[in-house]
């Protein structure tokens, strides 16, 4: 089973706080000896990471995907993103507020589902499974995006057709744009909802409704994989998971006792 670990970044490595640096080093040291770890982010910050973390490769994507949550959601719902990692069976996304708590070999236990993430809990109701520390089946994700494409705007369709390399004549490109626009607006309209909302809710809630073959981890399996909310409550009932998300944003008082770290400042 081929895994690749992705650390999304959007700002210079010089701007990282102590918590973020700790998360990056934790992910790299915990998984980098077996699996390839790469940064994904805009080109404008690439050099800073290559200088600070010379052993970690950097794959850049257009800046528009990292200038806000809306752009990031689009990136993780785009087929182009997953095609970049088609040489892997699974990608593990570990944001800079995530931690790896388990053994590197524990990752091999999580290959029965197509999407793994911590339960997102709001007023004791599970609303989905978080994407900040998540494991995704690359081939299945590409298959979903090929079958159920979101409703793009006219400018997005034009941009995508002219961005992708092609040997077709210029006039044929415009014909393909018009055909694509018609298909998406008329034929694919029942699936327009796929283009809205957070990407983790898209993958963990909307996709399995429309594509039953795309399997998302159940609650019990999710608790083995990652925690985000209600960590103290879970700690009294379950063993520690493979990883966690939001450790310094949501549950610092809890996790600082578990991982035995006391950074001086957050920012």
Mean pLDDT, rounded, for 27-33: 95
Mean pLDDT, rounded, for 222-243: 96
What confidence score (pLDDT) does residue 266 get? 52
What confidence score (pLDDT) does residue 83 get? 96
Q: What is the average pLDDT score of the chain? A: 87
Say if pTM beats, i.e. exceeds, 0.85.
no
Q: List domains and CATH numbers for the chain.
A: 3-148+194-259 (3.90.550), 152-187 (no CATH)
What tens digit of pLDDT does each residue of 70-100 get? Answer: 999 999 999 999 999 999 999 999 999 999 9
Closest of 184, 165, 161, 185 to residue 173, by C-alpha = 161
Closest of 93, 140, 131, 121 to residue 251, by C-alpha = 121
Report the DSSP pairing between strands 98-100 and 243-245.
antiparallel
Helix (H, G, I), strand (E, B) or coil at 77: coil
What confidence score (pLDDT) does residue 165 get? 53
What confidence score (pLDDT) does residue 203 get? 96
């Amino acid at each position: 089973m081929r895994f690749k670990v992705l650390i999304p970044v959007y700002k210079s490595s010089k701007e990282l706080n102590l918590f973020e640096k700790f998360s990056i080093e934790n992910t790299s040291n915990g998984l980098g000896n077996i699996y390839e770890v790469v940064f994904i982010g805009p080109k404008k910050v690439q050099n800073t990471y290559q200088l600070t973390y010379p052993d970690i490769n950097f794959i850049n994507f257009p800046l528009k995907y990292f200038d806000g949550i809306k752009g990031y959601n689009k990136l993780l719902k785009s087929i182009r993103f997953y095609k970049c990692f088609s040489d892997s069976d699974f990608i593990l996304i570990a944001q800079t507020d995530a931690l790896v708590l388990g053994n590197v070999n524990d990752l091999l236990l999580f290959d029965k589902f197509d999407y793994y993430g911590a339960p997102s809990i709001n007023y004791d109701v599970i609303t989905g499974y978080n994407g900040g520390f998540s494991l995704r089946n690359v081939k299945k994700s590409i298959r979903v995006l090929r079958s159920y494409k979101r409703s793009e705007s006219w400018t997005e369709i034009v941009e995508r057709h002219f961005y992708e390399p092609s040997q077709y004549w210029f006039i044929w490109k415009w014909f393909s744009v018009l055909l694509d626009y018609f298909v998406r607006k008329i034929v694919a309209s029942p699936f327009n909802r796929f283009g809205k909302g957070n990407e983790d809710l898209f993958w963990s809630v909307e996709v399995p409704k429309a594509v039953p073959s795309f399997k998302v981890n159940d609650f019990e399996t999710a608790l083995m994989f990652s925690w985000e909310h209600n960590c103290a409550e879970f700690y009294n009932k379950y063993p520690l998971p493979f990883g966690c998300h939001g450790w310094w944003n949501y549950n610092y008082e809890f996790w600082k006792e578990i991982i035995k770290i006391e950074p001086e400042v957050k920012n």
